[in-house]
Amino acid sequence: MNAKSSRETLFRVTSALAASSIVFFLGAILVVLFVFSWPSIIYNGTGFLNGRTWDIGNLYSSRQTVHAGFTAAAGAHFGILVFLVGTLATAALALLMAAPVSLGVAVFLTRFAPPFARSPLSVLVELLAGVPSVVFGLWGWAVIVPWVARSLAPFLSSHFGWIPFFAGSAGTGMGLLSSGLVLAVMVVPIITAISRDAIANTPPSLIEQGRALGTTEWEVIRDIILPHARAGILGGIVLGLGRALGETMAILMVSGNALNYLPQNIYNPVGTIAATIVSQLDSAMTDSTGMAVYALAEMALVLFVITLLVNMAAPLVMRISGGIMTLGEAREMGDAPFREAGS
């Protein structure tokens, strides 16, 4: 009994250490980023978040600027509002396109696909999540960008130009629209996989009750399956948002990587936080004062916090939308359309 108890204790301790290591590593990353970006936090203040100018300064001049005890290159300005807007805009546009497609694929895989094809099709969808982002970026540069410039953007501008954000020239095709399209393809597997599992977990008894009342397949999906699976679907969308916010290489290759420029329409070049960190790091390393690198670290800290909050919001969204429910509550929710039909 003592040996068995010792093994159980060792197993509990090992499991606890493994579980706590996740929190430890997240906390360690957050602390390291905060400490490394502290000079930039003091130097830039709140202007870092609401400033629209990013300029690492004149790195070849002997003149330097001193503020709050920290030094930066002459003419240096560090504001990331443009990149914040670009990050949120590309992620939001991607979700607007990816969420309906993902939901449609999930419904097809669980309700309409032949039984022999469901597993292979599910695997194919999930394989998209394993494709390196640089491959998506190259595909977007070679296929999506020319298509947007020659076909999609002129069509949208001519038919929907009365909507301000759709008016304007397509330019080279590199911009917000191309970035949103590539990101949408990249987050579809995440949202689809979670939505498919949520839909598949609908109690068969609820579906059978709908069938007994003569409802059509569409009515079963609309009134029973989707309401029951809404928590998982919303959670998948939130996790897809977290994935979209942090994408780097694919966006860098198709966005145009604009600096100090807010897009006026969906065709304009755009800059995101992650892509800017990669593109600016080489130049920042030549800053003898180190402030440019500190500013990039603060930019990474902002992105880390945003992504962490988004991923932490997924369980909260699922709970608020009804993710934690008993079978009786699920049955009660599923019986609602039947009571309405009976009345």
Average pLDDT, whole number, for the chain? 85
Percent of the chain with pLDDT over 70: 92
For residues 287 and 264, give the distance between their C-alpha atoms in angstroms, rounded to a whole number. 32
For residue 331, is pLDDT > 90? no
For residues 45 and 50, give the distance between their C-alpha atoms in angstroms, rounded to a whole number. 10
**In terms of Cα–Cα distance, which of 213, 202, 236, 191 is closest to 330?**
202
When pLDDT is averaged across residues 327-342 and rounded to a whole number, the result is 41
For residue 337, is pLDDT > 60? no
**In terms of Cα–Cα distance, which of 252, 241, 272, 265 is closest to 82?**
272
Domains with residue ranges and CATH for the chain: 78-342 (1.10.3720.10)
Q: Print burial letters for 248-268: b (CB count within 10 Å at least 16), e (below 16).
A: bbbbbbbbbbbeeeebebbbb
The pLDDT tens digits for 102-134 are: 999 999 999 888 888 888 888 888 888 888 999
Main-chain phi, psi angles of 67, to 5 degrees = -150, 130
* Residue 267 near residue 177 (C-beta atoms within 8 A): yes
The pLDDT tens digits for 279-318 are: 999 989 988 888 999 999 999 999 999 988 888 877 777 7
DSSP type of residue 129:
G
